[in-house]
Amino acid sequence: MSDRSVVPIDQILPNKLPLVALMGRPIFPGIFTPIMIGNPADVKVVDEAVSGDALVGLVMLQNETENPSMPDLYKVGTAAKIVRKINLPDGGVNIFISTLKRFRVKKTLHMTAPIIGAVEYLEDEEDNTPEVKALTRALIAEMKQISENNPLFSEEMRLNMINIDHPGKIADFIASILNIDKTEQQKVLETLNVRKRMEQVLVFIKKEQELLRIQKRIQKEINEKIEKSQRDYFLREELKAIKTELGMTTDAKSSEYQRFREKIDAFKFEGEVKETVEQELEKFSLMEPNSAEFVVTRNYLDVIVSLPWNEPAAENFNLKNAWEILDADHYGLKDVKNRIAEYLAVRKLRNSVTGGSRSAGGSRASPAARTWNDGKGAGSIVCLAGPPGVGKTSIGRSIARALGKEFFRFSVGGMRDEAEIKGHRRTYIGAMPGKIIQGLKIVKTKDPVFMIDEIDKMGISYQGDPASALLEVLDPEQNYSFRDHYLDLPFDISRIFFIVTANTLDTIPVPLLDRMEIIEIPGYIDTEKLEIARRYLVPKSLEKNGLKRSQVRYTKDSLLHIANGYAREAGVRTFEKNLDKIHRKLAKQIIEEREKLPAGESGGNPAQAIDKKAVEKHLGKPIFPLDVLKKADRPGMSLGLAWTSMGGDTLVIEAVSSPGKGGLTMTGKMGDTMKESAAIAMTVARKAGVERYGVDPEWFEKNQIHLHIPEGATPKDGPSAGITMATALLSLFRGKSIAEELAMTGELSLTGQVLPIGGLKEKTIAARRNQVKDIIIPKQNLRDLDDIPDHVKKGIGFHPVERFDEVLALALPD
């Protein structure tokens, strides 16, 4: 903050002034007022003026623009003295000015900021005539009338107006405080003849008086309507008392009131909840059933009495039974089941030390105390992350069944309105509570299992950010007093067991991700799909298509053939679709055979044996035939491993050379990160080719190298294909194919270091599906091998490496 002492204002005014452009209204002479300056150019002008004589010229903009020049300004302005300057945190300044005199810009000395003009100072004309004196009295009298009826005119304004001794200044002061257009104010500023100026201002006063008369009339009409509604209210109250005396209170409204009254009394509300609900109930009792507000209040009370305000019964689940339910509903997923069992064990242990109870309407206990006493702590929200079709939603149902709790599911995929989570305010027509309150209203219990599907697919729009709205919902430190916009009351949702699902964690905001316990569900290999199909998918599909188990019999090879040839994705959704397709064809075949029989004969139901041949008959040729497995069997090719939201996948890298001017061409819809990784791979491979294998450096100048990743319509990105691309390039330079049934993954640095990658489990599953026998991985990823089940690793050799030289020794041995 800076402050400058006051300099006498009767000093000689300079012939040239730095000009400050005013965005709002013009400022008249003889006024002391603050001004906010935000434009950096104007701030600079103020700083220079304060360091000098503290004088500036204030000129209003004709057309508002960010970088004004002299043609954008009016010619007439006001000279002002900067009395005090205060620096603001945002870089702007607040200045207190004392305005001195009108001026006109004669000549522009500097056209753009800082604008400097040569000025001439303007004197008032015809300021001491009888007409001016009469106009002065008229102005003061008219303004007194306005100020007496307008609370916006302060006592200080009235005193200033009376004590001004110059007619021109009186007109200026009144013009500055009237609510008139800024262009009209500028005209007053430019009028030097005092009589004409006062006549202009008098016209403005008359217009203001007319507006005040209209305002009074409108206010009177409103007051009359209010008085009528109050009279109607008192009459209704009298009528209500008469009906009560005569025993005539059996209308529908009274019965609804009685129903609300009984339920509200049973909840035993406290504090804010009790006060608000009682007010709404009283308002409901006084309303006419035909009014629109009556329906709004009735719906609001209906929501309140439908919610589970009372404390739920203590949890009483058995961990062994929970494990058996998870085993019965899902095959494999041992790591996932262990994580869920550990979480349930902690939940049961903490519930065993829960003490006390709370009445409806919440408690004033601190969040920390509430977290311990309620058996809630970190990890009370579980996030199941994995590719589509691996059973995330069904695991949520199994958890609810294991706990013996109600289950409610809703999806937030594509949601762009935060009101879907936190509800609409009651002021809107058709307002509803959000999904959380709606779910509690449906399940009728305070501690259900809530599943929020597709949390990674929420969007942002002008209607808000649903992900930000979920921050409060999923935070144990806040959700004990969650406020839905519709309900507008604190409601404890901390007892809800939240389970959210996602295909990828990359699109989930970090603050939201931080509130969740992440459990990753990997994809399935073919042997796991075989067991899942045998235990779950085949019986389910048979029942869905009207077939009996005795009518269809699958061989082990046929199910494996479906898994490898038609449904090679991470999940089992496509597998189930193919089973449905087979069973529909069998159902059609059975009905056609029955219709051929004579009337009265039903025929037998011989079991249909489904082998490989039958599978191809019903489903057509395999989509992924074994003879077209992805292979790197030519020079310039290598096999990499990738991770996507659909699970792991194998990636073929292709490189070819042709005579040309040299350089590297990249295709295959690579992202920016992958292109950078390819450039590093080219540099490392070229260096290794020249120094280690004796490739002629001139060869690179005479040959154009083309690096391509097939499936060009699919976007690809990430650095984990670095060693794969470098190996493909070196295979091209040497004219030698890489080792058979070998895949690799790892980021490559410019110095040849192999850096760690993510998604090793999914990549290993993809390699197994592609019948890969050896995988080169970064040495820093050895710790991730412990997370991969033994049956997935079986038959695959893992080769940890630290440098690219080790990759070459394995992939391109001398």
- 381-385 β-sheet, strand order: 407-411, 449-453, 497-502, 381-385, 517-520
* Beta-ladder partners of 774: 742, 797
Q: Is 689 exposed, middle or buried (0-12, 13-18, 19+ CB in 10 A)?
A: buried
Rounded to 10 deg, the angle between the 155-163 and 130-149 helix axes is: 170
Measuring CA to CA, how many Å separate 472 from each of 63, 484, 566?
46, 11, 44
- Distance separating alpha carbons of residues 440 and 435, to the nearest angstrom: 9
C-beta of residue 486 within 8 angstroms of C-beta of residue 420: no
Strands (DSSP E) along 617-736, which ranges?
Answer: 637-644, 647-659, 664-667, 703-708
Catalytic site residues? Answer: 720, 763
* Strand pairing category for 449-453 and 407-411: parallel
Distance of CA 35 to the CA centre of its chain: 39
Number of other CB atoms surrounding residue 16 within 10 Å: 15
C-beta of residue 478 within 8 angstroms of C-beta of residue 418: no
Residue appearing with tokens 């898994």:
563
- Distance separating alpha carbons of residues 570 and 110, to the nearest angstrom: 71
- Joined together, the tokens standing for residue 53 give 């004589």
Q: Is 319 exposed, middle or buried (0-12, 13-18, 19+ CB in 10 A)?
A: middle
What is the phi/psi pair of residue 39, to 5°? -65, 125
- Distance separating alpha carbons of residues 523 and 338, to the nearest angstrom: 17
- Distance separating alpha carbons of residues 582 and 614, to the nearest angstrom: 9
Q: Which residues contact 738 (CB under 8 A, 6 or more apart)?
A: 632, 637, 638, 639, 727, 731, 811, 812
Q: Which of 297, 118, 135 is nearest to 202 (CA)?
A: 135
Number of other CB atoms surrounding residue 359 within 10 Å: 16
Q: Which of 783, 784, 764, 777 is nearest to 570 (CA)?
A: 764
- Distance separating alpha carbons of residues 638 and 651, to the nearest angstrom: 8
- Distance separating alpha carbons of residues 719 and 670, to the nearest angstrom: 11
Q: Which residues contact 156 (CB under 8 A, 6 or more apart)?
A: none
C-beta of residue 402 within 8 angstroms of C-beta of residue 344: yes
* Beta-ladder partners of 119: 105
- Distance separating alpha carbons of residues 187 and 183, to the nearest angstrom: 6
